[in-house]
Structure 1
Amino acid sequence: MSAGLSVSVELSLRETDLSHGAKVVGNIYPSEDSGPGHRAVLFPCGRSAPPKRYEVDPGHYIVSATLPSGVVLSQDIRLRDGDEKRVILRPAPSPYESHSWQHLMGNIESYGAYHDGVTIPVPRSLGSRSGTWERDMIIEPGHAAWIGDPEPTSWQFPSMLTLTEGPARQLVAFEIARSEPRDVASLELGDAAARLYRFGAHGPLDDRGEPRLEEPMGPRQFLVVSLAGTEYVVTLPAPWGAAQIEVLVNERQSPTGSAVSVSVRDSRVGPALAYMARGAFDAAATLVRDAETMLYDGGMTNPLAAVAGAYVLVGSELTERPHRWDPWLSRLRHDFDWMSDGSLLWAMRHLRRAHTEPEREAARDALVEAFDRGVPVFTLGLSRLIHGLSEFPDDPGCAARLEQARRLSWRVDMREPFVVVALRGRQQ
């Protein structure tokens, strides 16, 4: 005896770059004396995404999906022998269709919070102060400064800490850029108080997804935005293969979201990053392990995606047994010295497995190397760096680096997957 359940999560993601929707983690729980069910499976999410069929025994089941936002959707259903039934899980709608990805990631509230006229969050009174991108020209609110070619020292801990101390004499973008920072307008989508910016492999994108600029680019990219009198240095995880990077700057006094949120519009890794940022490593691992071949057998053409997968795999692995992905940690460490995350991942893995003093010293050296390479791309890397350095309290070098890493962490929104540093106001 058998029956079939076809499951999907219906959420509009009407964008050409997400034509196949996204993947979220769910469960099919048996009730009463039904069959074994399906645990930690992937449900397609999006109106254009075809449903996924699961074979089950006849009986009563609860179909549940946990979205990257933390919202749980569920529906119960009873099947008889030979039944083929469709289950459509529907979350509350996004406040704007253009913001659906941010809504799925949990960075913006649902439709009702913005449109019922009673509970709509109030924009911050200082949020329209967008700063001065050119030294002698005021730019309209909704603009930001893109730094595609920063100074190599700009993401070092001492340099970033200097930016957080005292009022700035000029816009931060001019302090960290090697080539001229470029003014970028937000997309004309949704709400001006919840503005979106998108970036591709070659920098900012316009409303049609086309590149806006042809500028020199270094190994790392940043966006500087001003909100409520504070400037933020936003780490852009670009380029991310063919996937777009989306930044939400939310001026509304949200009780749940961050002022600045960065997400990757990647159908699998994007949701995995949101799960990871919320501490749901099991859910993130379900997505990343399913995409492990893409991350680790693709010639390392997308090192940022590989690092994201490695954070999930290392973070969710509690044993010391070797894995086929262990050699990739060494490659991430040695081949991509422009980001500290590779050294940090190697250190995390080897510190956990260290049994001798030389093994601990090797992990310690990798932690020092990670710090000296600069602020990680991933927020999880900053917290892991602090944890790792604290394992060596009697080492003066580790203690000094730990103090700086902790000071910077006070300025970083640890809820976000990518490092966003809140700096200081600018002198008027």
Structure 2
Amino acid sequence: MMKQTDNSGALAVASDAPRPATAFRLFTFFGSKTVRSWCYQLLLAALLIGFSYWLYSNVVANLRAQRIATGFGFLQQSAHFAIGETLIDYTPRDSYTRALAVGLLNTLYVTGCGILLATVLGFMVGIGRVSKNWLLMKICVGYVELLRNVPVILQVIFWAVVIRNLPSPRQAIVLPGMGFLTNRGLTFTVPAAHSGWMWTVLALLVACVLSMLLSRVARRWREYHGKQVPTGRLRWALVIALPLLVWVLTGAPHELNRPVLRGFNFQGGVTISPEFTALLLGIALYSSAFIAEIVRAGIQSVPKGQLEAARALSFSPWHVMRHVIIPQAMRVMVPPLASQYVSLAKNSSIAVVVGYPELANISNTLMNQTGQALEAIAIMMVVYLIISGTTSLLMNLFNRYVAIKER
């Protein structure tokens, strides 16, 4: 220590201890792992933003050089093309927006039907894969190996060729109690239009929801109080009685709209087009093979001690599968099932090869007419992203519902 005297005569104490330099403080700051992590992320984000801006500017400049306007204003223009299958009213005078809405609804329709069919077939084949019946097990193995190893687009084309080579309507294949199978598709009888049928279907949906709630309440009661509440008969009575009561109260409609051959085609009833049938069979059968393997893996993941305990309690094979195996296997099956459902939704874009008017097919027609390729592709990307995200969200919620919670 050394003493120094200032101008006022006061003594000042100066320390010889070194002070940290600015460079050392900066080194200490950037030496932090957290700071480095944030710097890397900010640098990556800046690079991505710069690359995206460069790509966008380049695309816009090229489009302007070709005198192609950018933006989504064309969506309000008339489409000027017809669509063969629609779930809502549509004419060529409608806008491109409505045409895309028709394609979106067709995509959701074939995706929903495909998920339902693939799930049913997948569970049946998956259970057959672990069957003790040698013949049934080998048939299911052949089903999985054949459909899983053939590209989905080839399966769609195969079914389209098969359907196109069916007999014409005059030589239709009669399906007793169902309808007629021809190269124009499957035509079958449906109930005649009546408001009573709509209310009956709505009552059936309400009854199914009430039945599930009743089952959940009974399960919670059993978990907390240890007492079994027999709700099976009550639930079946609810599902049957409520729609039947609504059907009677709305006039008990019973008229049927039957298909009749007139000229070169059938009139009346409902016809499922060859394009829709080929696409549905192709994507559903392909996905069902993967779902079957998921179901098989889930079943085999259940400990054998659980099965032995259930048999010791004199459970029937059906009750073992329904109350012991499936509930425990679902927590293994649901995550990969979500991936298969998302893949099935994206595979619906293969419809362009058979001419089914779903979103990708209509978007291609839109691009050819307007030249707005960038906008059309962006719309498709956003729509498929929303469909995939919604499917994943619903499956995650279902996964939480079926998860076995430890208490």
Smaller-chain TM-score bracket: under 0.3
Greater helix content: 2
Using the size of structure 1 for normalisation, the TM-score is 0.21
Structure number with greater Rg is: 2
Greater strand content: 1
